Amino acid sequence: MAALSQQTVIAVVGAGAMGAGIAQVAAAAGHPVKLLDNRPDAAARAVAGIRAQFARLAEKGRMSAEAAAAAGDRLIPVHELAHLADAGLVVEAIVEDLEAKQTLYRDLEHIVGPECIFGTNTSSISVTAIGAALKRPERLAGLHFFNPAPLMALVEIVSGLATDRTVADTLFATASAWCKTPVHAKSTPGFIVNRVARPYYGEALRLLHEGAADCATIDACCREAGGFRMGPFELMDMIGHDVNFAVTQSVWKAFFNDPRFLPSLLQQELVAAGFLGKKSGRGFHDYREGAVPPLPASESARPAPATIALCGDSPATAALAARLAERGVSFSHRAAGDGRIAEADGVALYVTDGRSATRRAFASGVAATVLVDLALDYAKAGRLAIAVADQCADPAPAIGLLQAAGLAVSRFADVPGLAVMRAVAMLANEAADAVNQGVCDAAGADAAMRLGVNYPRGPLAWADGIGLENIRDVLANLGQTYGEDRYRISPLIQQKVFAGKKFHD
């Protein structure tokens, strides 16, 4: 399906940050763009701001002065819906309210031509529900940009029940022509990104609620071990807790109170207190003038042991073993099921499989058991979280071993799954369910999470690397510990494990 031609007039309704960003993208791609807002002079101010942005891009050499001037000239502020009659695509970026969006597009049906496409930028409202108010709902699809639209590559192309496939394909091709990376999605709660991302926040909030570690330490482990650009608490602070909590509530309610999306009492308290994050000066972290950023908790220096047993045969265990060997750190390597740890080994060190260290020690018969968290790349990680079994009298050898490998060590309470492994397993599980339910394909799920929220790796590709059987075991062990449907394993993960296949073969 071909993209809309550059001669096609693009109309953007809503001149806030998102609407102005979309208008900038369309104008830069060569389209005449009409920008409308019901606030007096808002469209004109937005056009002036976009033109200034084009001029700055030209000053920085990112576009020629001629291209910047031409793009600015293609922007036209308008004041009435009637002025959008010649539009070939109308993108709304107005308030997130179902009735407001339905009213807008219902009014536009009497103004624009029959071939005009409607592209709603909604991030959470059902495209099917918006289209239900239209005489021709087949012309409506989601065209969900991410903020800031000129910089973020991802666009979710969301099809409602009535959306014509040619409309979705045209928007997909058009987004590609606008130098974006589009992914197809079905209109289900949260689409791809806002659905699949929920565990990154939800599991961190649960860890905090259980006293596993403080916010700064969990954030540091997710950054320095997991490779995430921001830890979950600093990310929620940046988004705003009013926004993040509302999205979680919306997805939870839309999925009929599925425990997988259960909102957090801790975050509810922050919202009630007005501690909304950076914009209010205080959230999980303190951003007020003079506030000192908290440091993550790190274990004091311990001597390297003479030897220690690194247990298991997972890819994560092998990668950690390679780092230790490269640094000349002495250890023995034993299979996961081998409980015959010699006294000289001192401590058995395992990569977490979703059990607590205490439970793992009981199962293996090795009292001196210490678990380490997952890392995106053990060779480059700067920090690892550990959990120590209640039966372990002295974890110092394990701490010293990891420190000798150049790692800062953060000791968590003995919670199952630790931070990074728990987050990645749940992200992969949610992405797998989205694929299993036809919301998107595996490539789309991974692209959406890498480009929409800057994850270091797509969750399904990450699961492939860890081993799907290991992801399955982590989820099963979390489910057994908590006894909650929250940790049910996606049928698609189980199917691929039985078939010996990956998501990306």
Residue 263: how many other CB atoms lie within 10 Å: 22
340 pLDDT more than 80 = no
Query: What is the average per-residue pLDDT within 441-464?
Result: 97
Question: Of 31, 92, 121, 123, which is the active-site residue?
Answer: 123
What is the DSSP annotation of 269-325? HHHHHT--BGGGTBSSSB-STTPPPPPPP-PPP-PPPS--EEE--SHHHHHHHHHHH
342 pLDDT more than 80 = no
List Cβ neighbours of 305 (8 Å cut-off, separation of 6 or more). 330, 346, 347, 396, 397, 398, 400, 401
Confidence grade of residue 85 (pLDDT, cut at 50, 70, 90): very high
8 pLDDT more than 70 = yes
Confidence grade of residue 332 (pLDDT, cut at 50, 70, 90): confident
382 pLDDT more than 80 = yes
Task: For residue range 467-489, list pLDDT tens digits in order.
Answer: 999 999 999 999 999 999 999 99
The confidence score (pLDDT) of residue 418 equals 98
Query: What is the average per-residue pLDDT within 362-373?
Result: 90
Confidence grade of residue 390 (pLDDT, cut at 50, 70, 90): very high
Same fold, 9-187 and 309-411: yes
CATH of domain 9-187: 3.40.50.720
Percentage of residues in the chain with pLDDT exceeding 90? 88
123 belongs to the catalytic site: yes
Look at residue 483 and give its three-state secondary structure.
Answer: coil
The confidence score (pLDDT) of residue 345 equals 52
191 pLDDT more than 50 = yes
Question: Of 156, 224, 299, 430, which is the active-site residue?
Answer: 156
What distance in Å separates the CA atoms of residue 423 and residue 459, rounded to the nearest whole number? 10
What distance in Å separates the CA atoms of residue 410 and residue 136, rounded to the nearest whole number? 57
Question: Of 144, 184, 241, 285, which is the active-site residue?
Answer: 144
Comparison of pLDDT for 318 and 145, the residue scoring more? 145
Task: For residue range 110-143, list pLDDT tens digits in order.
Answer: 999 999 999 999 998 999 999 999 999 999 999 9
Query: What is the average per-residue pLDDT within 52-64?
Result: 96
457 pLDDT more than 60 = yes
What distance in Å separates the CA atoms of residue 412 and residue 103, rounded to the nearest whole number? 52
213 pLDDT more than 50 = yes
Amino acid (one-letter) located at 345: D
The confidence score (pLDDT) of residue 318 equals 86
The confidence score (pLDDT) of residue 439 equals 97
C-alpha distances in Å from residue 317, one per residue of 87, 314, 354: 57, 5, 14
Q: What is the Cα 358 distance to its own chain's centre? A: 31
CATH class of the region 195-280? mainly alpha
Domain boundaries, the chain: 9-187, 195-280, 309-411
Task: Copy the structure tokens of residue 109.
Answer: 């049906």
Look at residue 349 and give its three-state secondary structure.
Answer: strand
Query: What is the average per-residue pLDDT within 211-235?
Result: 98
Closest CA to 57 of 19, 15, 24, 12: 24
List Cβ neighbours of 496 (8 Å cut-off, separation of 6 or more). 468, 502, 503
144 belongs to the catalytic site: yes
The confidence score (pLDDT) of residue 337 equals 55
Question: Of 121, 159, 187, 194, which is the active-site residue?
Answer: 194
The confidence score (pLDDT) of residue 341 equals 40
Confidence grade of residue 307 (pLDDT, cut at 50, 70, 90): confident
The confidence score (pLDDT) of residue 313 equals 80
The confidence score (pLDDT) of residue 338 equals 46
Contact by Cβ (8 Å): 261, 255: yes
Residue position matching structure tokens 């953007």: 12
pLDDT averaged over every residue in the chain: 94
Burial code of 96-106, b = ≥16 C-beta within 10 A, e = fewer?
A: beeeebbebbe
H or E stretch covering 443: helix 442-452
CATH H superfamily, domain 309-411: NAD(P)-binding Rossmann-like Domain (3.40.50.720)
206 pLDDT more than 70 = yes
156 belongs to the catalytic site: yes
List Cβ neighbours of 256 (8 Å cut-off, separation of 6 or more). none
The confidence score (pLDDT) of residue 170 equals 98
330 belongs to the catalytic site: no
Task: For residue range 13-54, list pLDDT tens digits in order.
Answer: 999 999 999 999 999 999 999 999 999 899 999 999 999 999
Look at residue 13 and give its three-state secondary structure.
Answer: strand
